[in-house]
């Protein structure tokens, strides 16, 4: 390694936030760090509440520009292209940035199921900038009949959104359209039943086993021709790697293929973490916990690289706690086969979220 190594960080996801906080260690190890990322980071743990207008966007926001002031050159834009031959990134504003080592932590996008036609006006749960359009719909809809929303997909984010939308006074109808045979197949059976009762109690219409062919701006269409009319639809059909992580030169269909060291399978100078990776030792769910836990591994990997030491490896936890914020002061916490429903689960979620966010705000 030369005395100075140009390290380019693309995206300020969970793992890179950790690097920004430890930037002095990287500098001491000989890295000159440049970050290309929007000036703030929005925390998905607060995203549903923010999207339905129940919570202030500031509750989940981290000031990336401020965090980068600890010795990182920050470009508040996005990378649109990576060139492996010239080792240069092209940014949305046209600037080219060269690197010796590059790391990507750029999150995910809402997955579009094959064969489903989705209108551009449909709100996608990810990136979160797009989900924020739902907040505008909710805030600006003053029609007499109330807002009708179709939520396509009953995974964790679709359920959080449907449950919380149902509590908004001028939302007249929430319809959940799920292709699977039952609601909450990813949950323990008792938790799925409890959730179904809550949604029913709040008047949410849940339609499972639907075969959708189109999600339009004003209606969803099933293969048998049935139409569900709405004012806005939300696509919550799972998370997929963003185009930059699936495109040449380094991407694959599942994202950037990385080894347990978070190093690209074929390019030792390329690292990646979080939702944008295809973790080769075993498929990982696209949940924030991996990005959070990969942060320290990525830092150690970069330090070991400059010191000539062995690379650390990321070992995913065997289970993790996930907590769905269902609005109305209640949440569903799940760990493995165990679950807890009620206010205490929400208080726990809030405490975990606050502690994590505080790290990057002080
Ligand atoms: C509604 C909703 C609720 C969720 N709730 C939870 C939850 O409670 N717990 C949980 O564990 N997971 C939750 N998830 C999943 C969670 O959002 C992701 O797993 C997590 O955010 C992935 O983290 P990451 O660090 O990979 O990327 P992200 O947190 O998505 O961060 C990536 C960052 O990179 C930036 N970026 C993207 N492209 C570029 C580019 N080309 N150039 C520069 N910067 C770029 C983005 O602006 C973003 O700030 C939720 C998801 C949704 C949609």
- Find the mean pLDDT for residues 175-202: 97
**What is the spatial distance between Cα 41 and Cα 171, in angstroms, rounded to a whole number?**
28
Residues of the chain with pLDDT > 90: what percent?
96
- Are 329 and 345 within 8 A, CB to CB? no
- Name the nearest CA neighbour of 307 among 20, 31, 10, 21: 31
User: Which ligand 1 atom sits closest to the C-alpha of 91?
Assistant: 42
- Are 238 and 153 within 8 A, CB to CB? yes
Give the per-residue pLDDT at 109.
98
Which tokens belong to 151?
């939520």
pLDDT surpassing 60 at residue 156: yes
**What is the spatial distance between Cα 206 and Cα 176, in angstroms, rounded to a whole number?**
5
pLDDT surpassing 90 at residue 100: yes
User: Which residues, 6+ apart, have CB-to-CB distance to 49 below 8 Å?
Assistant: 55, 59, 164, 325, 327
- Name the nearest CA neighbour of 298 among 276, 281, 273: 273
- Name the nearest CA neighbour of 79 among 61, 101, 104: 104
Q: Exposed, middle or buried by CB within 10 Å (0-12, 13-18, 19+), for 2?
A: exposed
pLDDT surpassing 60 at residue 56: yes
Q: Are strands 123-124 and 61-63 parallel, antiparallel or unpaired?
A: unpaired
Element containing residue 26 per DSSP (H, E): helix 23-28
User: Which ligand 1 atom sits closest to the C-alpha of 276?
Assistant: 26
- Name the nearest CA neighbour of 335 among 326, 351, 354, 348: 348
Q: Write the pLDDT tens digit of every residue in 125-141.
A: 999 999 999 999 999 87
pLDDT surpassing 60 at residue 113: yes
Kindly give the distance from the C-alpha atom of residue 24 to the centroid of ligand 1, in angstroms, as a whole number.
25
Question: What is the number of residues in the chain?
Answer: 362
User: Which ligand 1 atom sits closest to the C-alpha of 236?
Assistant: 53
- Are 13 and 107 within 8 A, CB to CB? yes
The top-level CATH class assigned to 5-108+241-307 is alpha beta
User: Which residues, 6+ apart, have CB-to-CB distance to 37 below 8 Å?
Assistant: 9, 10, 11, 12, 16, 64, 74, 75, 76, 78
**3-class secondary-structure state, position 218:** coil
Q: Whose CA is nearest to atom 17 of ligand 1?
A: 44
Average pLDDT, the chain: 96
**What is the spatial distance between Cα 147 and Cα 140, in angstroms, rounded to a whole number?**
10
Q: Exposed, middle or buried by CB within 10 Å (0-12, 13-18, 19+), for 260?
A: middle
Which pTM was predicted?
0.96
Give the per-residue pLDDT at 362.
81
pLDDT surpassing 80 at residue 142: no
Give the per-residue pLDDT at 143.
67
Instruction: Between 362 and 47, name the one with better pLDDT.
Output: 47
Q: For the ranges 107-111, 205-209, 247-251, which has the lowest average pLDDT?
A: 247-251
**What is the spatial distance between Cα 169 and Cα 105, in angstroms, rounded to a whole number?**
38
- Name the nearest CA neighbour of 26 among 274, 264, 294, 295: 295
- Find the mean pLDDT for residues 290-309: 97
User: Which residues, 6+ apart, have CB-to-CB distance to 162 below 8 Å?
Assistant: 151, 154, 174, 176, 199, 204
Residues of the chain with pLDDT > 70: what percent?
99
- Are 271 and 187 within 8 A, CB to CB? no
pLDDT grade for 1, boundaries at 50, 70 and 90: very low
**3-class secondary-structure state, position 165:** helix
Which tokens belong to 106?
């750029």
- Are 264 and 256 within 8 A, CB to CB? yes
Q: Write the pLDDT tens digit of every residue in 270-288.
A: 999 999 999 999 999 999 9
Q: Where in the chain is the domain with CATH 3.50.50.60?
A: 5-108+241-307, 111-237
Q: Write the pLDDT tens digit of every residue in 77-99.
A: 999 999 989 999 999 999 999 99
**What is the spatial distance between Cα 260 and Cα 248, in angstroms, rounded to a whole number?**
21
Q: Which CATH superfamily is domain 111-237 in?
A: FAD/NAD(P)-binding domain (3.50.50.60)
The answer, yes or no, to whether any atom of ligand 1 lies below 6 A from the CB of 41, is yes
The answer, yes or no, to whether any atom of ligand 1 lies below 6 A from the CB of 78, is yes
DSSP summary character for residue 264: B
The answer, yes or no, to whether any atom of ligand 1 lies below 6 A from the CB of 14, is yes
Q: Whose CA is nearest to atom 37 of ligand 1?
A: 106
């Amino acid at each position: 390694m030369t005395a100075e190594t140009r390290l380019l960080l693309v995206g300020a996801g969970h793992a890179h936030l950790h690097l920004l906080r430890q930037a002095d260690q990287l500098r001491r190890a000989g890295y000159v760090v440049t970050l290309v990322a929007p000036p703030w980071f929005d925390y998905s743990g607060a995203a549903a509440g923010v999207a339905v207008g129940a919570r202030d966007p500031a509750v989940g926001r981290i000031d990336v520009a401020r965090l980068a002031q600890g010795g990182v050159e920050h470009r508040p834009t996005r990378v649109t292209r990576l060139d492996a031959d010239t080792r240069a990134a092209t940014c949305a504003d046209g600037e080219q940035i060269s690197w010796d080592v590059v790391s990507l932590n750029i999150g995910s996008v809402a997955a579009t199921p094959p064969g489903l036609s989705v209108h551009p006006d449909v709100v996608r749960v990810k990136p979160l900038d797009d989900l924020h359009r739902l907040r505008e719909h909710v805030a600006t809809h003053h029609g007499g009949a109330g807002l009708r929303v179709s939520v396509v997909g009953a995974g964790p984010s679709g359920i959080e959104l449907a449950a919380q939308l149902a509590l908004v006074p001028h939302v007249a109808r929430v319809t959940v359209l799920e292709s699977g045979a039952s609601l909450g197949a990813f949950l323990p059976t008792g938790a799925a039943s409890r959730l179904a009762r809550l949604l029913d109690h709040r008047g949410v219409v849940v339609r499972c086993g639907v075969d959708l062919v189109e999600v339009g701006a004003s209606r969803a269409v099933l293969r048998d021709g049935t139409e569900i009319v709405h004012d806005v639809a939300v696509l919550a059909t799972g998370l997929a790697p963003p185009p930059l992580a699936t495109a040449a030169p380094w991407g694959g269909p599942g994202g950037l293929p990385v080894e347990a060291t978070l190093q690209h399978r074929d390019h030792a100078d390329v690292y990646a973490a979080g939702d944008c990776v295809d973790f080769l030792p075993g498929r990982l769910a696209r949940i924030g916990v991996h990005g959070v836990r990969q942060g320290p591994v990525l830092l150690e990997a970069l330090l070991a690289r400059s010191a000539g030491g062995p690379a650390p490896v990321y070992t995913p936890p065997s289970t993790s706690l996930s907590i769905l914020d269902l609005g109305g002061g209640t949440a569903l916490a799940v760990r493995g086969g165990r679950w807890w429903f009620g206010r205490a689960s929400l208080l726990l979620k809030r405490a975990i979220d606050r502690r994590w966010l505080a790290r990057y705000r002080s």
